[in-house]
A and B are shown apart, each in its own frame.
Chain A
Amino acid sequence: QVQLVESGGGVVQPGGSLRLSCAASGFTFSSYGMHWVRQAPGKGLEWVAFIRYDGSNKYYADSVKGRFTISRDNSKNTLYLQMNSLRAEDTAVYYCAKDGYGSGSYVHYWGQGTLVTVSS
């Protein structure tokens, strides 16, 4: 079955950096687009970034553009999110999520999430 396991969350100071990873299994990783979606404590879902199945195109929410970078290593079945210049408002649970197709559609499956806390 599909498994998405996020790691790399933790506490970081404002202005700091963090890299999240998502280990995927149970499906042909290189055939599907992948998303990062976040949820601030007690708040709703916010789409963060998407990468096509082959890594050829990457898209970002305006709130993270220029600070976050999504990437993937299809040889390792792993998705990444490099987060720089972190702000307090980036505090959230970050979910790795599998797209229904390769180029951006519904979110098929979600990981359990990893908590990122930006605080001094």
Chain B
Amino acid sequence: EIVLTQSPDFQSVTPKEKVTITCRASQSIGSSLHWYQQKPDQSPKLLIKYASQSFSGVPSRFSGSGSGTDFTLTINSLEAEDAATYYCHQSSSLPFSFGPGTKVDIK
């Protein structure tokens, strides 16, 4: 079973600041790593698929990188509407799994 860890658990950020969230897999998963955003009282939404492919309609300030075991979600120039919890998810092998989440708060 592949375990995903995320860091940090929580980040308080000023608007226009750059945010970097990392996701580490317990074994190599190639590029089968995806990122989601969940705002309070909403369902999650897909941001990035296969490590670096932006989903249609996602603002260009969101980007992803990495392969193997180490992945990064970057939010360039954070906006107030980006306050949310961000989750990584692996589809490399069953059982599929999610990371524990990173909560991003706006100062």
Residues of A contacting B87 with CB < 8 Å? 44-45
Number of contacts between A and B (CB, 8 Å)?
59
Is B89 engaged at the interface, CB distance under 8 Å to the other chain?
yes
Q: Is the CB of B44 within 8 A of A105?
A: no
Chain B residue nearest to A104 (CB atoms) is B91
| Binary per-residue interface labels of chain A (47-60) against chain B in the complex, 1 for a CB within 8 Å, 0 otherwise | 10010000000011
Is A112 engaged at the interface, CB distance under 8 Å to the other chain?
yes
Is A83 engaged at the interface, CB distance under 8 Å to the other chain?
no
Q: Is the CB of B43 within 8 A of A47?
A: no
Q: Determine the interface band of chain A, counting residues with CB < 8 A from chain B.
A: 20 to 34
Give the docked Cα–Cα distance between A65 and B49 (Å).
27
- Taking A44-B87, A44-B100, A100-B49 as contacts, is the C-beta distance between A111 and B94 under 8 angstroms? no
- Taking A45-B44, A110-B45 as contacts, is the C-beta distance between A105 and B91 under 8 angstroms? yes
Q: Determine the interface band of chain B, counting residues with CB < 8 A from chain A.
A: 20 to 34
- Taking A105-B32, A106-B34 as contacts, is the C-beta distance between A47 and B95 under 8 angstroms? yes
The prevalent SS among residues of A at the interface is strand
Give the docked Cα–Cα distance between A50 and B87 (Å).
19
| Binary per-residue interface labels of chain B (81-97) against chain A in the complex, 1 for a CB within 8 Å, 0 otherwise | 00001010101001111
Residues of A contacting B99 with CB < 8 Å? 44
Give the docked Cα–Cα distance between A60 and B97 (Å).
11
Residues of A39-92 whose CB lies within 8 A of B? 44-47, 50, 59-62
Residues of A contacting B34 with CB < 8 Å? 105-107
Residues of A within 8 A of B (CB): 35, 37, 44-47, 50, 59-62, 95, 100, 104-113
